[in-house]
Each structure stands twice: as structure tokens, then as C-alpha cells.
Structure 1
Amino acid sequence: MNRRFIMGVILVIIACCLLLTSLTLYATSIAGVTLPGMSSVEPTPTPVPETPTPIPTPKPELTAQGPLPVLQAKVAYLVDMQNGHVLYDIHGEQAAPMASTTKIMTALIAIQTGNLDQEITVKRDAYLHVIELGSSNAGLVPGEQFTLRELLYGLMLPSGGDAAIAISDALAGSPENFVVRMNLFASRLHLFQTHYTNVDGLTSEDTHYSSAADLTRLTRYALTNPIFRQIVDTPTYTLPTTKQHGPHTWTNTNTLLSTYKGMLGVKTGHTDLAGYCLVFEAQRNGHSLIGVVLNSPDQAIRDQDVSKLLNWGFGLPMK
């Protein structure tokens, strides 16, 4: 009896072992595990087709070719706004006096570092600057108060030297302190042919200068700021009488805004030393050109030079 019982137990144990072994083999086959002594066949991987990297389609670009326009300005420079390619260059890298195009830097620093809603009181030095030097002006009166935003229109449209002084007094304590910021920012923008000695460009000194190439680089950067772009593209700006100031109407000195199709600004300038100057941007058929003319003999010829240069640029083939 005991022997039969023992044999039965042994058979049960053997059966359990066989069952456990079968289950283990089944589980390992599902999991892909190979036990020692077992052979396995690696599955053949399904090749994944490589996706070719798409080759970008080059955008057509303006290509300078043919005879260049003949201008009377001593310095001229034209650039494709989209890619920075230089299309026309007459002495563009040479330092030259740039008159009130200086105010591009003055406005840009004021926009980037000031509070546009800040109230600024016009001081007497702004008024005396106009009286003593005969600078172009916005007609500001000592004691009047304007926001910085309003003074920027007085700076850029009528080319107000008094607005430049008022802004620099408020933001830096004095025009001299503001000039330090201008030269520092010029260095940061790698404008290596540029140096400022004043905030409005009215000077007979040869230590205040820039180049057409530097002015173009500066203005391309400035135009990325929507406030700057809006101001320089404004033909006329009117302020009614308030408790803070009298009435003012400022008209943009860039007459091409109303006479040249697609003109978008930017800034005029004139001194005896610099001649008649203009930094400009224009757009046609969705394409923008930016450029500079310096030292034209008079305003009419300056505008003719700019129009001729732009007409030539917009007429170039796209390749």
C-alpha cells in the first residue's frame, strides 16, 4: 500500500514537471527568449524605406545686370530687403556726413529704451538749439508736455532737432549722454564706419559720420520694429490743443511718400557738408528694396536719383 502510494506521488510529480516544462517552453517562445541548448531562428527584419530629404526650391532673387543707372548723388546704395544682397554700390562703404539721417538711431534707441507713454517736458535747451543753430524743428515751446510717442513723430516727420534734444534730455539726462548710447549701439550692430557726436546730425564737424552701407544695415534692423515702421511711413501727424501743449501738425519731409508708388519712408537729411540725403524703403509686387543716397546737389535731384535707382531695381529680373 505504501509502495503504491509512493509510486503515485512520484508519477504526479513527474507529470507536474513535464507540464511546467511545456509551459515554460511555450512562454519563452512567445517572448522570443532562447534558453541554453535551444536553437533559435532570428526573424528577418522588414526593411524600412528611407525618406529622401526634400531639396528646398530656391526662391527667385533679383539679379543685377545690364547698365547701371547714372546718378548725381556722390554716394548711392541699394539692397534687396529680403536677403540683404547688394544691388547697387557707389562708395557705399566710405564714411561720409549723413545729416538728419542721424535721427534714425536717435529714434530707434528712444523706442527700445524708453516708455512710449512717458510724459516729457520740453526744456529751454531744445528751443535754444533751434534758435542758435537754425535746425529743422517741430515748433516745440519750452514747458510743453508730450508723450515720448508724440515726440518721436516730431523727431522723424518734420526732422525736429528740438524733439531730438527733448528726447535725449528725458531719457539720458543730456544730449551728450545720449550720444554715448548711440555710439555703443552702433558698435553692437557692427556699424564700423559710423560715429556720432550729436543727436540730430546738425554739425559741420567731420567726426560725425556714417556710410551708406551702415545706414542701410541700421535701417533694416530698425524697420523690424513696428513702432518705428509706422512712424516713418506717416505722411502727416496732427496734435490738437490740450492742457499740456498747443496745436501741432507735422508733415513728413520725405515727399516721395506721396509721389512715388510703394514708398514706405524712411528719413531725409540735409546740411551744407552732407548735401541732400535720403534713406528709403519701397515695395512693389510684394518685393522690398532699401537704400541710401548721400550728397545730392539739391532736393529735386535727390528725389530723382532715388526714383531712378528704385525703378532700375524693381525692373531687374528674378532668377
Structure 2
Amino acid sequence: MILTAVIVVIVVALAFDYTNGFHDAANAIATSVATRALSPRVALLMAAVMNLVGAFLGTEVASTVGSGIISAPQGIAGLVVVLAALIGAIVWNLVTWWLGLPSSSSHALIGGLVGAGLASAGEVKWAGVLEKVVLPMVLSPVAGFLGAGLVMIAILWIFRNSRPARTSRGFRIAQTVSAAAMALGHGLQDAQKTMGVIVLALVVGGFHEGTDVPWWVVLISAGALSAGTAAGGWRIMRTLGRRIIDLDPPRGFAAELTASAVLYTTAFVFAAPISTTQTITSSILGVGATKRLSAVRWNVAGNIAVAWVVTLPAAGLCAAVAFWVLHPLVV
């Protein structure tokens, strides 16, 4: 019974990982596609490969997700909590994907964990949520906005006497590198969140001890995320690449470079599960503001910001409902 339940949770975790891939694929490639630095097919293939590679670069974020958010009870009861959290995150991912809103899969998962934890009357580690989720959720978009703006100002100053056409061609080539770096950062951050949930399920089920991530968990998490990325995320790609601001290659490069730097820093230095969606979107806003404030479609940005704020409680509510439905049937 326990083994079957663990397998079910792992399968659902991989389903979440897959939705994460197609939901967040646009994060890495929307700017490059919008500026015509890469074709959509080439961009998706590159993003899938770099997501796969990025998943093998570390497990610090996985440890945070697996042990720093909630304490689930042992046995079937704990597995129901984890399963409900995943269902809540998947439901919210699908809703926002359908609406074309680049919400955060990371925050959907964490909101799901908190919501399921509260519904089960379990322990939510609020200090960990505040330190590793809420503060990075606030600070990472600020870092992306300000950092991208400064990088763009530096680019404008350095290339102030260059021919626009020649400069644009050069940055289209450079965007191949920056988009790859962004996809690598996405794999580093987002695959680890699924790893953390699978490890949590293994611990709760009694099949694992500690927070170390087994190699096979890394492999299947990386594969599911990469497969989802290859499936694409065209609805969200249009929002990020065209509806916020009309991007040119220098601004696309500056946004991707800044966002990837924030992803690497938070993963390696702080082990914080930040949102790739928030990071790249705020970076796009930052480079857009250097053109002129009216160049940014602030109404679209406002809708995205609302999705950011709503994601944690909405995914938590979905997870709580899933727990209330599942718990009487299983336990």
C-alpha cells in the first residue's frame, strides 16, 4: 500500500514537472524568439537541452523544498498531503497557462505545500517560508528590474556610436548565449523543486532518510522538465515576448543576462527556490523602462503582478480542496 502510494506521488510529481516545463518554457526563449535571434523550434530544442543539463548542476534548492517548507506526517497520511500539494500546483499551472499568464510554477508548488499542510493540520515551517520564499519572491524581481536597467544603460553607453543595424546583428548572436544561460538557470532552479517533493515523498513513505537527492530522482526530474519544455508554451511566450514591450536584440540580451545571473545567485548562494517567471518578466520591464516609461505596457505588467500575488494562496486553496477530497477516501 505504502509503495503504491509513493509511486503514485512520484508519477504526479513528474506530471507537475512536465507542466512546469511547458508552462515556463517561454521564460528562457520568449525574448530570443521575439527579437528573431532564434526560430521557435530551435529555441525550444535549445531550451529543452539546457534545462536537462541545468538539472544536474545542484541540489541545494531541492533540500529547501523537501525539508524547509512543511513537516508531513509519516505514512499514507503524509503522502496524501504531498499528493494534494502537487494536484493544487498542477491545477493552478493549467489555469494560468490557459489564460496566457506567466505565473510562477515554483510558487504554485510552494503554495500547494503550504495549503495542503494547513488543511491537514500539519506543521508549516513559517520561518523557512518567510526566509526562503517570501523574501526572495519580493527581492528577486527588484534585482531583475534594477539589474537589467543598469545593464541596458551600460550597453547604450558602450555602443552609443555604433551603427544600429550592425549592433542589432551582433546582439542577435549574443542572445543565443544569453538564452542558453537562461534555460540552464531554469533547469537548475525548477527541476530541483520536483526533486525536493519526490525526496519528501520517499522520506514520508519510509524509503529514504535525510535530504540527499538520489541520482535516479535527478534523472527523472530532469527528463520530465526537459520533455515539457520541448512541448512548448506558446500562449505565455506571446505575453512575455510581445505584449509587455516590443523587444530589440540588445534589450533581449540584457534581460536574459540579468535574469540568468539572478537565478544562479539565488540557487548557489542562498538555496532559495525563486520564480524564473518573475525574474525574466521583471528584467524585461527593467530594460523596457530605459527606453521610455510609456514603452512598457503597464496594464499587462499589472495583470502579471496580480497573478504573482494570487498564485500562492490560489494554489494553496486548490491543494487544500484536493486534500479534503482525498483524505477521507485514502486514510
TM-score relative to the length of structure 2: 0.22
Larger radius of gyration: 1
Structure whose residues are more often helix by fraction: 2
**Greater per-residue strand proportion:** 1
TM-score (norm. length: structure 1)? 0.23
